């Protein structure tokens, strides 16, 4: 064998070994170490200990723009108790100083099925960039006032979704100033003031909403907002855009077949809404008048409709 052949053979062998090492490094070995130190990726864990070890070994999650996807599947317990796995998890996230996209979909929790992250605990919450709530959660905890808001101290939360929550409590996301997108396909009741001071909010998906609480979007600034609703117009509380004192574009997306239910003139462009009047109609209910007529239309809310086709 000549030198050129030997060099080619060695190079080929190195390539094969490297490939095998990469394949092994990314294989699902049944451990909870996830993506193994690649600076971003996914960690899966079925215990606090496994999560702690994996986060410690991972080089990702250094910035809010580079979160680690953390998929956990254990019992969160009674989340307001110091001994709960929920609070232990927050401590680990804070201690390892890693930003995470938190997937709780496979977690179990307290028998009440109310997701209550405990407003009084701040540890670790600023490191959570997005959340998928447990599949068994049916409600997000009610807040009696701004002091008791469920997602207090989630200062970097930008996205949240769930598959089964039917009710969002009052003040739930108050002051989540980085929240951009909310996706709750089964939620029917949204408590009053649930999104006040969410001044980066861009997209909300509530196709099953039947009741929208008062003052829902107070102090949300001028960021354009798109809200997807369903076939039947929800009851709307008054003053839901209170304090918006400059033009804010709001698009309501509804099924094409629901045009008339929302007060369309079928002869007009389906995106049409006359923002120059304060007539008693659903669009103006939404702009602040409320379904009971007890509020006032905020003329700074520039409303339009868009339609989608349901399957």
pLDDT of residue 82: 95
Two structure tokens written together for 68: 């680690």
Cα three-residue angle 309-248-216, rounded to 5 degrees: 75
> Using CA atoms, how far apart are residues 51 and 100, in angstroms rounded to an integer?
12
Sequence ranges of the domains in the chain: 29-137, 160-311
Give bridge partners of residue 44 from the DSSP assignment.
Answer: 71
Determine the Cα–Cα distance for residues 189 and 69; give it in Å rounded to an integer. Answer: 29
- The pLDDT of residue 278 is 87
- CA dist 244 and 298 (Å) reads 8
Residues in CB range of 69: below 8 A, 6 or more apart: 41, 42, 43, 100, 101, 103
Closest CA to 207 of 188, 192, 225, 224: 188
User: What local confidence, expressed as pLDDT, does residue 266 receive?
Assistant: 57
The pLDDT assigned to 311 comes to 53
pLDDT at residue 15 in the model: 36
Per-residue pLDDT of the chain (311 residues; tens, 9 = 90+): 454 444 444 344 333 333 333 332 333 333 333 333 334 699 999 999 999 999 999 999 999 999 999 999 999 999 999 999 999 999 999 999 999 999 999 999 987 899 999 999 999 999 999 999 999 999 999 997 888 999 999 999 999 999 999 999 999 999 999 999 999 999 999 999 999 999 999 999 999 999 999 999 999 999 999 999 999 999 999 999 999 999 999 999 999 888 888 876 656 665 678 888 888 889 999 999 999 999 999 999 999 999 898 75
Residue 4 pLDDT: 45
């Amino acid at each position: 064998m000549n030198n050129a052949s030997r060099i080619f053979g060695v190079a080929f062998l190195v390539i094969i070994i490297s490939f095998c090492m990469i394949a092994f490094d990314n294989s699902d070995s049944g451990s909870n170490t996830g993506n193994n130190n690649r600076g971003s990726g996914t960690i899966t864990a079925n215990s606090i200990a496994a999560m702690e070890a994996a986060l410690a070994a991972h080089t990702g999650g250094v910035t809010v723009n580079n979160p680690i996807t953390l998929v956990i599947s254990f019992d969160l317990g009674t989340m307001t108790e110091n001994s709960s796995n929920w609070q232990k998890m927050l401590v680990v996230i804070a201690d390892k100083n890693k930003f995470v996209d938190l997937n709780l979909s496979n977690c179990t929790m307290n028998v009440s099925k109310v997701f209550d992250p405990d407003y009084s605990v701040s540890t670790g919450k600023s490191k959570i960039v997005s959340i998928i709530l447990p599949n068994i959660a049916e409600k997000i905890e009610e807040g009696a006032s701004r002091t008791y808001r469920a997602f207090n101290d989630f200062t970097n939360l930008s996205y949240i979704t769930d598959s089964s929550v039917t009710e969002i409590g009052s003040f739930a996301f108050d002051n989540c100033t980085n929240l951009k997108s909310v996706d709750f396909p089964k939620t029917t009741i949204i408590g009053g003031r649930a999104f006040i001071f969410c001044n980066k909010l861009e997209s909300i998906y509530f196709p099953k909403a039947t009741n929208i609480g008062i003052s829902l979007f107070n102090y949300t600034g001028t960021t354009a907002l798109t809200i997807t609703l369903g076939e039947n117009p929800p009851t709307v509380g008054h003053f839901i855009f209170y304090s918006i004192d400059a033009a804010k574009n709001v698009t309501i997306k509804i099924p094409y077949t629901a045009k008339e239910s929302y007060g369309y003139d079928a002869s007009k462009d389906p995106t049409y809404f006359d923002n120059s009047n304060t007539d008693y109609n659903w669009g103006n209910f939404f702009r602040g008048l409320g379904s009971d007529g007890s509020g006032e239309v905020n003329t700074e809310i520039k409303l339009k409709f868009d339609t989608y086709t349901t399957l």
